Structure 1
Amino acid sequence: MRVFSVACIAALSAGNLVSAGSWFGGNDASVKEADKVPGNSPLQFCEKDHGQDIVHIKQVDLLPNPPESGAELVIHATGTVSETIEDGAYVQLVVKYGLIRLVSTKASLCEQVENVDLKCPIEKGVLSITKSVDIPKEVPPGTYNVFADVYNADHKPITCLQATVTFGMNKKTAESIESAGDL
């Protein structure tokens, strides 16, 4: 869905800020199933009331899930926008690598949705989006936590999402480390 992609793109754009993979990833066993965004992704709704959210996410699927560094990630999202999202909408974005805060910023949502070929205003209705992104092979192994709290220009909540991803060493990285050890 387009506005989910707002959050997702805010997330993806966090990906652009920190590497596209930072938004998505592994499963957190402590997460309550009711808080999970429907579909095949690690996305979760933030722990707050979502009754007034402008975007109601129906489903988000990632392929592959979890994402892999150096690979293409396909995101498919669907949902409903209950009122027009105007220019001036914004996302409060925090990305952490373990305990280290990599990004803490307020970004224009309307600029971010351009990454999925959308433009503000985003009209109300049922929306669907599919987007492919390349995850850089240089994404360091470790756990990334992303928090995106999204608001319309009038500060009404659009949605709030979070995700945890753990990137391990892929085969190439492991081979490089082994080769370096032989020197």
Structure 2
Amino acid sequence: MKFLSPAATVVGLLAPISVGANPLSLWPSSQAPIHELNGPAVPGDNPLFHCAIPTDDILQIQSVELVPNPPKAGQALKIRASGILTETVEKGATVLLDVKWNNVITLVHQTVDLCEQIKNVDLECPLEKGPLVLEKEVALPAQIPKGKFSVLADVLSKDEDKITCLQADNIQF
């Protein structure tokens, strides 16, 4: 259930996917935040929100706990997440990951292979239908720039069904 994590390394959440950031790019100054917060908060001690009401999501998240919350640059971030997969997740699933700094500079904007990335959290595809628990400790770099970060992780199955979509806005380092 670690569906995004270079952001996790930058924002220290979802510690899921550990990908390299694309080169920085400036967004127009009129660019809005990644998403409006339309969905409910993710249960647990974390800064996460669903992008929309998650009724039909393949992953029904029960809890995400981050210690410390909020994450701190240069400190280890402990993540414990649990949920239930309503169907098996197979190879071909993807994650669209966006990480913005101060709602102006895009640090990461890319689509990655979920099954390649979940190896970073000691999981492998296929992810079988049923309960899913993830526990991981991630070392956050001390050189995370000061500012506010926004993260979006939109996770889709190989058939482009919604596994989950999570976001966090204004996480301050």
Give the TM interval when normalised to the shorter protein: 0.7 to 0.9
Match of 1:109 in 2: 114
Secondary structure of 1:130's counterpart equals: strand
TM-score (norm: length of structure 2): 0.81
Partner SS for 1:35: coil
Moved beyond 4 Å, runs of 4+: none
Deviation at 1:21, TM superposition (A): 3.4
Provide Cα deviations, 1:16-69, integer angstroms capped at 9, x if missing partner: xxxx132549xxxx968x7110000001111x3422210000000000111110
Q: TM-score, normalised by structure 1?
A: 0.77
Q: Give the deviation of 1:14 after TM superposition.
A: 3.4
> Does the CA-based 8 Å contact 1:59-1:78 persist in structure 2?
yes
Structure 2: gaps (5+ residues):
15-35
Pick aligned residue for 1:22 from 11, 17, 25:
11
What is the distance in 2 between the residues matched to 1:162 and 1:144? 11
Structure 1 CA distance for aligned equivalents of residues 40 and 55 of structure 2: 13
Q: Tell me which amino acid in the other structure corresponds to 2:11.
A: S
8 A contact 1:41–1:60 mirrored in 2: yes
2:168 aligns with one of 153, 159, 163: 163
Deviations 1:68-93 (A, max 9, x none): 10000000001000000000000111
* Cα distance, 1:129 vs structure 2: 1.1
The alignment yields a C-alpha RMSD, in angstroms, of 1.8
- State the identity as a percent: 43
2:90·2:158 contact (CA, 8 Å) conserved in 1?
A: yes
CA 1:119–1:105: 2 relative to 1, 3 Å: same
Which of these two proteins has the greater Rg computed from alpha carbons?
Answer: 1
More helix by share: 1
